[in-house]
């Protein structure tokens, strides 16, 4: 199994670690686990999926544009976007900064930094429904966006404080929190199985 993590900014090593553990939990032999840190287009070759990590969404957008990664990342079969990565997946970004682009792959609108500043970051145990089964996951919110609108064909997987915080549309999953910082691999496992 060959998957990538966009490695321009953000919690790259944490996602790599979570993906490696998640592959083990879903039965992928060690010899078949390959995780690529994606910095240039050629790193995307042969990927089954990619994780777009948190970080600063405007900076990620600009760096992706500099490297010509927008079209190439859009061609990867499945994508998990967390925090800033969720912003990159959205069709609409409310509060977008100068020159900020998104992949526009999911019919959602997101509000940047809607949960507040760094000091207002929090962790909360939330319910999540994956493959029709209810579970719980630790969700770490750091200057997190809010999913303000969910379009048709978008499934809400988890909510927190009345707002959707994890959604899926086809092979794309967006989460406004950082699952890689909680040590919980449930969302990564789900991403790998989809």
Catalytic residues: 83, 178, 180
Q: Which of 34, 35, 145 is nearest to 92 (CA)?
A: 145
Q: Between the CA of residue 72 and those of 16, 65, 69, 100, 136, what are the distances in Å?
A: 20, 11, 5, 18, 34
CA distance 100 to 62: 7
For residue 120, the SS3 value is helix
CA distance 178 to 138: 9
The residue assigned the tokens 């994606």 is 38
CA distance 187 to 166: 9
The residue assigned the tokens 């790599």 is 16
């Amino acid at each position: 199994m060959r998957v990538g993590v966009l490695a321009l900014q953000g919690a790259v090593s944490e996602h790599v670690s979570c993906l490696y553990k998640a592959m083990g939990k879903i039965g992928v032999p060690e010899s078949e686990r390959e995780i690529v840190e994606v910095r240039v287009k050629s790193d995307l070759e042969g990927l089954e999926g990619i994780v777009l990590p948190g970080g600063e969404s405007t900076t990620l957008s600009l760096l992706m544009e500099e490297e010509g990664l927008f079209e190439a990342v859009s061609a990867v079969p499945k994508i998990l976007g967390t925090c800033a990565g969720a912003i990159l997946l959205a069709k609409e970004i409310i509060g977008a900064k100068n020159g900020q682009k998104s992949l526009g792959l999911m019919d959602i609108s997101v509000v940047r930094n809607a949960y507040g500043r760094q000091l207002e970051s929090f962790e909360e145990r939330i319910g999540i429904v994956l493959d029709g089964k209810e579970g719980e996951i630790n969700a770490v919110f750091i200057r997190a966006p809010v999913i303000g609108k969910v379009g048709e064909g978008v499934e809400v997987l988890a909510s927190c404080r009345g707002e959707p915080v994890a959604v899926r549309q086809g092979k794309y999953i967006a989460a406004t929190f950082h699952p890689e910082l909680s040590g919980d691999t449930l969302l990564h496992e789900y991403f790998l199985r989809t």
